[in-house]
Amino acid sequence: MSDKPIAPPRARRTASLILIAIGLLVPALSLIPLGSIWLWQSGYLLYWTAFALAAVALVYLAQRHLLPEPGAPPAPVEEQPTEDDRGDDDALRFGWSPLEEQAWSDVRVLARGTDPDRITSPEALLALGRETIEIVARRVHAGRQDPVWQFTTPEALAIIERVARRLRMFVRESVPFGDRLTVAQALTLYRWRGALDWAERAYDVWRVVRLANPATAAANEAREQLSKAMMQWGRDTVSRKLTEAYVLEIGRAAIDLYGGRLRVSTEALSGYVSEETAADQAAVSQTRTEPLRILVAGQTGVGKSSLVNALAKEARAATDALPATSAFTPYMLEREGLPAALVVDSPGLGTDPKTLEALLEKAADSDLVLWVVAAHRADRELDRKALAALRAHFAARLNRRRPPLVLVATHIDRLRPFGEWSPPYDLAAGNDEKARNIRDAIAAASADLGFAADEAVAVSLADPETPYNVERLWERIADALPEAMRAQLLRCLHELRDTWSWRSVWSQAAGAGRTIAGALRKESPRSGGPRDKKGKSASNAE
C-alpha cells in the first residue's frame, strides 16, 4: 500500500482540470500555424487578413463604448450595508451595532475605491491592510488617543488564530498542490519570477522577425492585440475583485477585534445570564438561561397588566386578572415556535422624572418594547416625551442596538359607535364604521408617536377569556424577533466584556504563581542549592 499523501479533493480536482485543459489546448493551438500555411498556399490569406482586421476594429470600438477604461473604477457609492453584504457567519450570529455598521460602510467605500495597481509589493499589500484596520479603529474608538491599540493581548492572539485557520483551509482546498508545495519551493519560484520578463522580451524579438511575411504578421498582430486587450480587461476585473475581497475580509476581522467580540468566548456568551434576568428568574423559579426580555410600557390605565395577562395566559399568569403594577414585575412567557422570554410589566408613566429614568434603565436591559396606548384617549404627551427620551438614549449609544418598538393600541372596543362591539372586524379594508374608526385611531396614534403603520397592532382586552386580535400581536412579535435577538446578543456581549470579578483576578494570580513556582523548581535541584559543572551540589563540594 502506497504511503504517498493524498491531495484534498478540491485541489486534486483543480489540478486534474488544469492538465486536461493543457491536453486540449496544445492540439488546438497547433491549428494556428497550420491554418496560416494553408491560407497562404490557397491564396486566401489577404482576404482573411482584411476580415480579421475589420473584426478587431469592431470589437475594439464595442469595448471602448461598453466597458470602462482599465484603471478607472466607478466612483464609490456610500450606502448602508445589508446582511448579505456582510457575508460572515460571526457577524450574522452576533449582529452589528450601528457604530460597527458605520465602520463597515467605511470599509466598503475603501474597498470600492482602491486601485489594484497600487499593490506592487508585499509592503504595499500590508499598507493597505493597515489602512483598513485604522479606518475601523478610528470609527469604533473615536476620540481615543491611540484607537489602533484598543485591544487586549488575548484578542490579538484570537484574531491571528482565526485568520491563520481560514488561510490554511484556503491553501489546502483551493490552491492546486497547495498541500504539497513546500516553502522552499515557493521561494525558488519567487526568485525565478524574473524569467517571465526575459520570455516577454524574447517574444518581442520574434514579433520583429516574423515581419518577413507582412500579411501573416499583420493578421497575427491583430489577433494578439485583441487577445491582449481582452486579457487586460479580465485581469483588471479579477484584480479589482481580489483587492475588494482582501479589504473586506480585513475589515470584518477588524470589526470583530475592536467591537470586543473576541474578548468573549462563544461558550461564555451561550451560558451567560444577566443579573437582571437572574433576579427575575429567581422570582418565577426558572432555570438559568438568558431569555428574551420584553418590556411593556405606557401610561396608567391603558391596559398594560391586562396585556401581560393575555400574553402570559398560555404559560403562567400569576392571577386571573393582574392588579395595577406599582413596580417592575417579570413573568415568564412560553409559546410554541418562539424562544423563552420574560415579559416585564412596568409602572405607569408619570410626571416624576425618576419614573422616566427608571423606565430608560429597564429599557436598556430589554430586547423588545411593547408600548401600550389607549385608542380612545388623545392625552399622549407623556408617551411622546418618554419615547423621545428612549430613542435619544439609544441614539447616543452607537455600540448598542435599540430594542425594536411595537405600538399596541388597546380599548378599541370603546371607539364609536359606542354601543357596538361584535368582533371580528376587517381592520385592513372593512367599510363599516367601527372598522374605519379603529383604523383611523391606529393611524393617528402611530403618526403622533413616530411609529410606522406595520409597527402598530390594535387589540381589545375587555374580555380576559377571549382577548381580541392578540394573535396578530404575537405575529408582530415574531416579525420583530430577529432584530430583538440582535439587541439581546449585543446586550449580553457588552455586559460580559465589561464585567470582571475578584474570582477571575484571583484565578489569574494563582496561574501566575504556578508558572513562577514551576520556573523556580527548574532552576534549583531537589537536594539543595545550585550545582557545579560536575553535577555536585555546591554544599557537598565544600
Q: What would the DSSP string read from start to end of 177-215?
A: TTTT--HHHHHHHHHGGGHHHHHHHHHHHHHHHGGGSHH
Task: Number of helices (H) and strands (E) in the chain: give both, helices first.
Answer: 19, 6
Report yes or no: 383 and 298 within 8 Å, Cβ to Cβ.
yes
Q: Which residue has the higher pLDDT, 379 or 274?
A: 379
Strands (E), 129-267: none
Percent of the chain at pLDDT > 90 equals 25
Beta bridge partners of 330: 344
Mean pLDDT of 395-418: 92
Domain boundaries, the chain: 9-14+54-263, 285-497, 502-541
* Closest C-alpha to 296, from 366, 242, 239, 228: 366
Per-residue pLDDT at 346 exceeds 80:
yes
Dihedral of alpha carbons 81, 87, 88, 92, sign: positive
pLDDT score, position 304: 93
Mean pLDDT of 125-146: 86
DSSP string, 481-530: HHHHHHHHHHHHHHHHHT---HHHHHHHHHHHHHHHHHHHHHHS-TTSS-
Per-residue pLDDT at 541 exceeds 60:
no
Amino acid identity of 13? R
pTM: 0.55
Report yes or no: 398 and 102 within 8 Å, Cβ to Cβ.
yes
Instruction: Tell me, rounded to whole angstroms, the distance of Cα 363 from its chain centroid.
Output: 25
Report yes or no: 251 and 136 within 8 Å, Cβ to Cβ.
yes
Per-residue pLDDT at 123 exceeds 50:
yes
Rounded CA gap, 21 and 47, in Å?
Answer: 32
Per-residue pLDDT at 498 exceeds 90:
no
Task: Quick: pLDDT tens for 238-292.
Answer: 677 778 888 888 888 888 888 777 766 555 555 555 656 655 555 444 444 678 9
Hey, what CATH class is 285-497 in? alpha beta
Rounded CA gap, 449 and 520, in Å?
Answer: 69
Per-residue pLDDT at 468 exceeds 80:
yes
pLDDT score, position 42: 79
* Closest C-alpha to 489, from 343, 337, 367: 367
Rounded CA gap, 321 and 379, in Å?
Answer: 26
User: Exposure of 97 by Cβ count < 10 A (0-12 exposed, 13-18 middle, 19+ buried)?
Assistant: buried
